[in-house]
């Protein structure tokens, strides 16, 4: 991790932020520079922050059940800004929703029970894959 930046965000009306704060700390301790946008963000505000902060990856914490609407909107809003930043979703995501989210442009999904090692490995893998595809 040489200066890689990750934005973590809570999109929508989900006010549960303990998990996203734990993930932010895990990533920080692994050497990432972490930007946390706080609660109640919109897809537009997440996309704007990701572009403004020049991040390598966006991590969305989704516990409200709105992942099927909000996560694809974040991907769309980022692309509308002319950039391609990979998006990972973590949280309560039923197994049948995972391939649908991936078809909508979400790079990876982490579900409850993911270990700190799995979080770090997934972030590293997605950033590495994105860089390889972009070159």
Can you give the residue ranges of every domain in the chain? 5-134
Give the chain's mean pLDDT: 95
Using left for φ > 0, alpha for ψ between -120 and 50, and beta otherwise, residue 55 falls in beta
Instruction: Report pLDDT for 83.
Output: 96
Q: Is 33 helix (H, G, I), strand (E, B) or coil?
A: strand
Residues 6+ apart with CB under 8 A from 9: 20, 36, 37, 38, 41, 46, 49, 58, 59, 60, 61, 74
pTM of this prediction? Answer: 0.96
2 pLDDT higher than 70: no
Note whether 8 and 61 are within 8 A (CB).
yes
CATH of 5-134, one of 3.20.20.10, 2.60.40.420, 3.40.50.280, 1.10.10.10: 3.40.50.280
- Give the model confidence (pLDDT) of 31-69 as tens digits: 999 999 999 999 999 999 999 999 999 999 998 889 999
pLDDT confidence of residue 106: 98
């Amino acid at each position: 991790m040489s200066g890689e930046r990750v934005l973590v965000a809570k999109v929508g009306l989900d006010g549960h932020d303990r998990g996203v704060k734990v993930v932010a700390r895990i990533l920080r301790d692994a050497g990432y520079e972490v930007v946390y946008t706080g609660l109640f963000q919109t897809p537009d505000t997440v996309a704007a922050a990701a572009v403004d902060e020049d991040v390598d990856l966006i991590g969305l914490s989704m516990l409200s059940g709105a992942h099927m609407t909000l996560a694809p909107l974040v991907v769309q809003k980022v692309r509308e800004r002319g950039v391609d930043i990979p998006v990972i979703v973590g949280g309560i995501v039923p197994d049948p929703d995972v391939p649908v989210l991936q078809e909508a442009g979400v790079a990876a999904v982490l579900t409850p029970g993911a270990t700190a090692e799995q979080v770090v490995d997934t972030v590293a893998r997605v950033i590495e894959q994105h860089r390889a595809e972009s070159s």
